[in-house]
Chains A and B, each alone.
Chain A
């Protein structure tokens, strides 16, 4: 018998009891909808991390002071100095650029407004190394740095915080810790990574920060760009060697600094997101299985209800295979229809989440196909038992059934 005929028979029987068919599908609808939504959420989160990783640039190592133990007490003290940064920028084979940073939050005053803003004292190569572009104005020069000039570059979101037009701010002054600075540049937005958003920072020359604002020689972070011809491992070893020498750390003693590969950090975050996505999709998948059991239930009831019909069909020449196929096709169609509705539901849910909850979501053809394939499989797997029961009925008994 043609498969097309079987499909037609199944559609007729589903249509004749549409409401029940819809209720039967409900489990699959919810299951597929949930899987699609969860995968869309997970994929969205991963895309976001991917974007952040691309923005980070993969070739920067971040060196920070680390806590170390002294007489059994953990010390958390700044150990990196501007001298370290200078040492790292001399004669290095595996590091092509070094950017020290002095970070502090200060009261910044513009007109009559007062804000608490992270102020970073750094070198002129900061925008190049970290991949910032200027919307207006320029970065301070090496001469500005050498002269300890009181000039400042603003992050992209700062003008808005002061209710000011960014273009008009160039040449105006702000007060950082009551010291007047001239605004010489505004950066383009770059977007945050994790806990920090660099768009609401301001930058001043390192020497200005050191001698006019903080008054000490310590830096919070030194960023080191790995030379294009070198590797992360080589650069890390070289930095470690130089800093140990600078800090006079004896062999066998621990480093008082830490070198971090931010890309590695992002990668581990991505892995965690992926695991989380699979977990959520797995939980949603359980409801698919429950939906499949629902289908099996209804199909078993259907077989009992239609025993007479099965007897008649057998008397008229239907083989076991014909009957088996008929019921299998029916449960598969139910599941596929449920899968289709669930797909639409999931797509709608992800779109709504993206729009109203502001979560990143990304629908993929892969997850749609997977959910569809999975619901077809559920239909076949959970349809087999009822279909076998139908096919195995004795025609004489079936015809006698009331």
Chain B
């Protein structure tokens, strides 16, 4: 629009293996959002390649990207992004609708996912009838319901108080322990500390990539 193009990401060479718990850190403008969009298959890199589960995502068309997002990526947003007019259960069912599951299967999978995040008794509540922490749990259940390859969270505690934030991060820890690959984008130190690997970005470059020792 302004006529000049800025490379949001430059030299990023990253391998993430299944089961990892990765935190991506960086100030605003560091390129972490762009990286997240590429990992989440919402965007394609203008140059370079992105491979997911042996598929070259960087050359896929819109329809293929939608399918990857549906089946392989579980998004958790800072602002929850639940659909306001629907119950928790209906919200969790949305990705299953797009993958063409039958209603009976959807109900079983969605209620199981809500049980996992501890909301088995809140299934018919609407987002407006729930607290922030509960909403984020619904969002996590929605992310989990297709059993994706990556659980991709963007500042998942950004809109929550510190206690609730801790509960949500405990939930991510548990999901990681159960074998899920978790990628958390954050600018907060104490969130990043929970991860087994921290990638720091600055001005579009990876400035550090540290594996934390189990403590």
Residues of A within 8 A of B (CB): 1-2, 5, 12-13, 16, 308-309, 311-322, 395-396, 399
Contact = CB atoms under 8 A, between A and B. Distances in A.
Contacts of A312: 81, 83
Given A308-B81, A309-B83, A315 B69 contact: yes
Nearest to B93: A5
A12 B85 contact: yes
A396 B154 CA distance: 13
Interface string B62-85: 110011011100010100010101
Given A12-B85, A396-B37, A399-B77, A317 B99 contact: yes
A2 B100 contact: yes
A312 B154 CA distance: 14
A12 B91 CA distance: 13
Nearest to A315: B75
A41 to B, nearest CB: 43
A13 B100 CA distance: 21
Given A1-B97, A2-B100, A395-B42, A317 B69 contact: yes
A319 B63 contact: yes
A5 B97 contact: yes
A322 B69 CA distance: 14
A320 B61 CA distance: 11
Nearest to B62: A320
A86 to B, nearest CB: 89
B156 interface: no
A316 B142 contact: yes
B66 A317 contact: yes
Nearest to A2: B100
Given A321-B63, A395-B42, 18 more contacts: A2-B100, A12-B85, A13-B85, A309-B83, A311-B81, A313-B98, A314-B66, A315-B81, A316-B142, A317-B66, A317-B67, A317-B69, A317-B71, A317-B98, A317-B99, A319-B63, A319-B66, A399-B42
A16 B43 CA distance: 32
Interface residues of B, number: 25
B100 A315 contact: no
B40 interface: yes
Interface of B: 37, 40, 42-43, 62-63, 66-67, 69-71, 75, 77, 81, 83, 85-86, 94-95, 97-100, 142, 146
Contact of A316 (B43, B63, B85, B94): B94
Contacts of A321: 63
Contacts of B99: 317
Which of A12, A312, A314, A399 has the largest count of B CB atoms less than 10 A from its CB? A312
A203 to B, nearest CB: 77
Given A315-B75, A316-B70, A317-B95, A1 B40 contact: no
A134 B61 CA distance: 85
Contacts of B95: 316-317
B87 to A, nearest CB: 10
A43 B142 CA distance: 57
B42 A316 contact: no
B63 A320 contact: yes
Chain A to chain B: the 8 pairs with minimum beta-carbon distance, closest first: A317-B70, A317-B98, A319-B66, A316-B95, A16-B85, A312-B81, A317-B69, A395-B42
A399 B81 contact: yes
Of A5, A311, A320, chain B has the most CB atoms within 10 Å of the CB of A5
Contacts of B43: 396
Nearest to A17: B85
B42 A322 contact: no
Most buried by A among B67, B77, B94: B94
A354 B40 CA distance: 65
Given A13-B85, A16-B85, A396-B42, A316 B100 contact: no
A310 B94 CA distance: 12
Contact of B42 (A5, A313, A315): A315
A318 B77 contact: no
A320 B43 CA distance: 15
B8 to A, nearest CB: 12
Contacts of B75: 315-316
A186 to B, nearest CB: 74
